[in-house]
Amino acid sequence: MKYSMAQGLGRPFAVFAKMGKKYGVEWWILVTGAVIILAILYMALAPQTLTPFDPYNQDAGPQLIPPGGEHIMGTDNLRRDVWTRIVFGSRTILSISVLAAIISSFIGISLGLLSGYAGGMLDRTLSLVMDAVYVFPGLILAIALAAMVGPGVINITFAVAVIYIPTYFRLVRGQTLAIKQELYVEAARSIGATNATILMKYIFPNVIATTVVVFTLNVADAIMIEAALTYLVLELPPSIVDWGMDLAMGKKYLASGQWWLITFPGMMISMLALGFTMIGEGLSEILNPRLLER
Amino acid sequence: MRNLIRYIITRTLMTIPMVFILLTIIFVVLRLMPGDPVSSMLGGHAPERVIEQKREELGLNRPMTVQYVDYIWKICHLDLGDSMVLQQKVTDAIAEKLPATIELTTFGMLITIVLGVFLGAYAADKRRQARDSAIRLYGIVIYCIPVYWLGLMLQLIFGVWFDWLPIAGRTGARVFTSDFENTGFYIIDTLLVWDLESLKDVLIHLILPSFTLGLTLSGIFVRLTRANMLDVLKADYILAAEARGISHTNIVYRHALKNAFIPILTMMGLQVALLMAGAILTETTFSWPGMGRLLLERIYLRDYPMIQGVIIVFALIVAFISLLVDIIYAIVDPRIRY
């Protein structure tokens, strides 16, 4: 045996502690964020292990009972278990917001690279359009899109994705403009590298690093927009469990004091957004040590 | 001075292409997306002939380019069309609801600036201390609390549990809004007729919604102010001021904050989008009869001209405020000229 069990476990812990010493608070922000996300990810992946009930079961218990006993977060007006709906609802919000962020980063990065590299008329037109979308309230754009294309998970995903394309576009375009002037790009071109090679092998790897931080913050924002959309316009079919929709339903019972129907779904939306924000915050401070001074 | 005037004129002219692009995007989104206003209005089972007739009535059977030119032409004449579901002009409905939104966003923004800027400056002054960390944590956490949930929780705590504040609407039952409907801004209206009882009622109704909106946005401002203040506090003139024996509080909150405020002002222009989105959500939560409520109600009714009109007005507000911020910026900081 080359090393003992304790050593095997000790090594990662030592690295962990060392990182903590090196980066201080930022490291712990990152770790806390990661723990929150992993916990919610577990909910989404294995919901059955966390609750004995079914999220659609309208016979889980008495109507509108407060948290306690068998129902740790109480039951709703349709006699469904609130905790179970929280656990199963994590799937909807996580998949929509992460997928939306992936779609918008893909489109935004591609267009940004192209626009910054090609320049000229294409660049000017794209920049104008992207700037206009950027200043326009994203939520209103998403509401309009969702209202036009109708309800559904895929439609909401696209409506949310559209909002964030300009964020990636502006970031990547700016960096592409700068990197394009670098000596090593010039060198590559002089030995006959094609435009495609320069874009993919020289510019793209330098651009992608900074988009990681933006991506996590983007997911955090998308989470709140997704929940806002379903809270506002109930754009999902009732067969889907969603925190935003549960919040909208719980709102009806606020005046009569049934606090658990709004408290828990909203708290989960905040926690999820907070998790991604903390990862983004931690990463940005660790990746850009200059910012540490701020 | 001539420079400044030239800048203001150039900047105003630059707003035109931006507004134009926004209007085009709205047109594209509302016309070219799947989903047909007529069939969703009449329901899926309407006979072909009726649908055709309705399309012709609304001018939807014409070529896209003709519709686009007509659309821009009408907006230039401040004509946003008529509602599809109610007998009213879109502009009239908007004129009725807009003051409520402006009243809410103005107070929300005031709370944000006071809270965000003060906390940010304080954190920068106490940097790397526990108080600084606490304020930064507040900034991150409050940013992650969705404005609608914050509104619901404040309603629950202050409206239902303590029963201190009203949770819905702009006025209570005892205020007859028709008595003083002049400008639509209830604070101004009640002051014009000097009805202090009603003014008090209006202000009490404003507390929870504007705090909801203001608190949510304050996180960003805490962050921005803190970062800018840290830069400013390192500057030589701060050291010089300290050497001259000016009190510390005076240096931080007068000398430094004044200089840190310029970049904050620019960021304020960019936060207008967030403010508008926040207003829509706050209005829904607090049954606030403003633009956001109008938009959502009409989305349920599939009232396309109204939806389009409301979105256009939001676009114009955004363009106007970013213009305004840039002009103020130029007046405050003489170095900024194009």
pLDDT at residue A102 in the model:
96
Angle subtended at Cα B79 by Cα B77 and Cα B80, rounded to the nearest 5 degrees:
140
Domains of chain A listed by start with CATH number: 2-292 (1.10.3720)
* Structure tokens that stand for A286 in this block: 């660790």
Q: How many CB atoms lie within 10 A of CB B98?
A: 18
* Residue B180: half-sphere exposure toward Cβ, Cα within 13 Å: 19
Is there a contact between B318 and A135 if contact means CB atoms under 8 Å apart? Answer: yes
Q: What's the CA gap between A38 and A46, in Å, rounded?
A: 12
- The average pLDDT across A41-50 equals 91
Is the pLDDT at A12 greater than 90? The verdict is no
Among left, alpha and beta (phi > 0; psi -120 to 50; other), residue A242 is beta
> Does residue B79 sit within a domain?
no
Window 278-337 of B, Cβ < 8 Å to A: 280-281, 284-285, 295-296, 299-300, 307, 311, 314-315, 318-319, 322
Judged by a CB distance cut-off of 8 A, whether residue B246 touches chain A is no
Over chain B, what HEC string results? CHHHHHHHHHHHHHHHHHHHHHHHHHHHHHHHCCCCHHHHHHCCCCCHHHHHHHHHHHCCCCCHHHHHHHHHHHHHCCCCCECCCCCCEHHHHHHHHHHHHHHHHHHHHHHHHHHHHHHHHHHHHCCCCHHHHHHHHHHHHHHHCCHHHHHHHHHHHHHHHCCCCCCCCCCCCCCCHHHHCCCCCHHHHHHHCCCHHHHHHHHHHHHHHHHHHHHHHHHHHHHHHHHHHHHHHCCHHHHHHHHCCCCHHHHHHHHHHHHHHHHHHHHHHHCHHHHHHHHHHHHHHCCCCCHHHHHHHHHHHCCHHHHHHHHHHHHHHHHHHHHHHHHHHHHHCCCCCC
Is there a contact between B148 and A247 if contact means CB atoms under 8 Å apart? Answer: yes
> Does residue B58 sit within a domain?
no
Q: Which band of pLDDT confidence, cut at 50, 70 and 90, is reported for residue A294?
A: very low
Distance (Å) of CA B137 to CA A283, B122, B223, B326: 16, 14, 10, 31
Kindly report the CATH number assigned to the domain that includes residue B113. Answer: 1.10.3720.10
Is there a contact between B277 and A133 if contact means CB atoms under 8 Å apart? Answer: no
- The average pLDDT across B302-322 equals 87
Is there a contact between B140 and A143 if contact means CB atoms under 8 Å apart? Answer: no
Q: Where are the alpha helices (DSSP H) in A24-67?
A: 25-45
- 């207008």: which residue's tokens? B272
Q: Are A90 and A273 in contact (CB under 8 A)?
A: no
> Does residue B89 sit within a domain?
no
Percent of all residues in chain B with a pLDDT value above 70, rounded to a whole number = 92
Of B155, B273, B296, the CB nearest to A254: B155
Distance (Å) of CA A107 to CA A122, A161, A172, A178: 15, 9, 11, 20
> Does residue B68 sit within a domain?
no
Is there a contact between B152 and A262 if contact means CB atoms under 8 Å apart? Answer: yes
Is there a contact between A231 and B148 if contact means CB atoms under 8 Å apart? Answer: yes
- 């997911």: which residue's tokens? A219
> Does residue B82 sit within a domain?
no
Q: What's the CA gap between B187 and B203, in Å, rounded?
A: 8
> Does residue B18 sit within a domain?
no
Look up the ipTM and state it.
Answer: 0.86
Q: What is the pLDDT of residues B262-292, one digit of tens each?
A: 778 877 777 888 888 999 999 999 999 999 9
Q: Which band of pLDDT confidence, cut at 50, 70 and 90, is reported for residue A138?
A: confident
Domain count, chain B: 1
Q: What is the pLDDT of residues B141-152, one digit of tens each?
A: 999 999 999 999
Looking at the DSSP assignment, which residues form a beta bridge with residue B89? B82
> Does residue B110 sit within a domain?
yes
Number of A/B CB contacts below 8 angstroms equals 138
Show the domain range for B163.
96-337
> Does residue B209 sit within a domain?
yes
Q: Which band of pLDDT confidence, cut at 50, 70 and 90, is reported for residue A153?
A: confident
Helices A120-135, B304-332: crossing angle, 10 deg rounding: 100
User: How far is C-alpha B80 from the chain's CA centre?
Assistant: 21
Which of A58-62, B81-85, B156-160 tops mean pLDDT?
A: B156-160
How distant is the Cα of A173 from the closest Cα of chain B, in angstroms?
19
How distant is the Cα of B110 from the closest Cα of chain A, in angstroms?
20
SS3 A68: strand
Q: Which band of pLDDT confidence, cut at 50, 70 and 90, is reported for residue B112?
A: very high
